Amino acid sequence: MLEPLRGKDVKPVIDSGELTARRLSAADYLPQEQSLDNLRSAAAKCEGCDLYLRATQTVFGSGPAPAALMFIGEAPGEKEDDAGQPFVGPAGKLLDDAFTAAGINREEVYLTNTVKHFKWEPVGKRRLHAKPNSREISACQPWLLAEIQAVSPMLIVCLGATAAQSLLGHKFRITRQRGQILALANGQQVLSTWHPSSILRTPDADARQRMQEELFVDLRAAVSLIRR
C-alpha cells in the first residue's frame, strides 16, 4: 500500500516559474541592430500575437529616417493588408488631402500603425476591420517604439485614440485632448488628432465636415511646430 506523502518528502520536480507560460510579444523578434531596414525584415516574420494568423502580411511603417513628422494610425486595413503598405486605402486618401491642405509632402514623413497586422471579422464575403485590443497593442508596441527611435521625429502625430493610448496611456481621450501638444516621459512631443477612418465613418455630414476641418487645422499646427 502506498503511504501518503508527507509535506517534507514532496520535492518540486520543476521550478514553479516554468509553469507560468511567458506571453510572446514583438520583443521576441527585435533584431540586434535596429535600423529601419532591419526592423522591417524582422517584423515580416513577427508572430508576437495572434493577429499574424489571419492577415496576409506585416504592414510595417514607410518613409525616411530621420523624419521630422511621424504619423501613427491604428492598424492596416484591407487595402493595406493586400498592398503591404500603410494608408493606401480610403483613409489614406483623406490623409493625402489633409497633407495637401497643410503643405506636407507625403514622401518626407514617416507613416506607420499601432499594430502591424490587419485585424478583421468576416461579414459575408468581406473582411471587416476590427479594433485591436490592449493585449495586441502592447504585444506590438516594441515595433512602434523601435520605429520612433529610428525615425527620431520632432513631432509624433497620433491619428485616433488607439495610437494615442498606446503612447500616452489608456486615460487619453481624443475628444478632450485632440489638438494638444503633449510630451512623453523622454520629452518626445506628441499631437493627437482624428483618425481619417473615424471621420469617414461619421454619419452626420456637418460633424464629418467639422472633424475634417479640425484634422486640417491640427496638421497645419504640426507643420508650424516643426518649422519653428
Which residue ranges make up the site for ligand SF4 (CB under 6 A)? 26, 43, 46-49, 51-52, 58, 115-117, 136, 139-140, 143
- Least Å distance between CB 137 and ligand SF4? 9
Judged by beta carbon, residue 49 or residue 91, the one nearer ligand URA is 91
Burial of 210 (0-12, 13-18, 19+ CB in 10 A): middle
Judged by beta carbon, residue 48 or residue 196, the one nearer ligand URA is 196
- Kindly list the distances between the CA atom of residue 191 and the CA atoms of 69, 80, 180, 228, in Å, as whole numbers in the listed order: 10, 24, 6, 15
- Least Å distance between CB 93 and ligand URA? 10
- Least Å distance between CB 132 and ligand URA? 10
Q: Which of 48, 63, 86, 142 binds ligand URA (CB under 6 A)?
A: 86
Judged by beta carbon, residue 32 or residue 145, the one nearer ligand URA is 145
Contacts with ligand URA in 181-200 (CB under 6 A)?
197
Residue 88 CA to residue 110 CA, distance in Å, equals 14
- Least Å distance between CB 86 and ligand SF4? 13
Pick from ligand SF4, ligand URA, none: which does 80 bind, CB < 5 to 8 A by kind? ligand URA
63 touches ligand URA (CB under 6 A): no
Judged by beta carbon, residue 87 or residue 194, the one nearer ligand SF4 is 87
Q: What is the Cα 186 distance to its own chain's centre?
A: 19
- Kindly list the distances between the CA atom of residue 113 and the CA atoms of 10, 19, 62, 156, 163, in Å, as whole numbers in the listed order: 51, 34, 10, 12, 7
Pick from ligand SF4, ligand URA, none: which does 86 bind, CB < 5 to 8 A by kind? ligand URA
Contacts with ligand URA in 107-126 (CB under 6 A)?
113
Which of 62, 137, 75, 138 minimizes the C-alpha distance to 106? 62
Pick from ligand SF4, ligand URA, none: which does 52 bind, CB < 5 to 8 A by kind? ligand SF4
Which of 194, 205, 197, 44 minimizes the C-alpha distance to 131? 197
Residue 91 is placed in which grid cell?
Answer: 483613409
Give the interface segment with ligand URA, choosing from 5-13, 45-53, 76-84, 119-127 (CB under 6 A): 76-84
Residue 124 CA to residue 140 CA, distance in Å, equals 29
Per-residue buried b or exposed e for 9-25, using 16+ beta carbons within 10 Å of the residue's own CB:
eeeeeeeeeeeeeeeeb
Q: What is the Cα 210 distance to its own chain's centre?
A: 25
Judged by beta carbon, residue 24 or residue 200, the one nearer ligand URA is 200
Angle value at C-alpha 38, between 37 and 43, nearest 5 degrees: 100
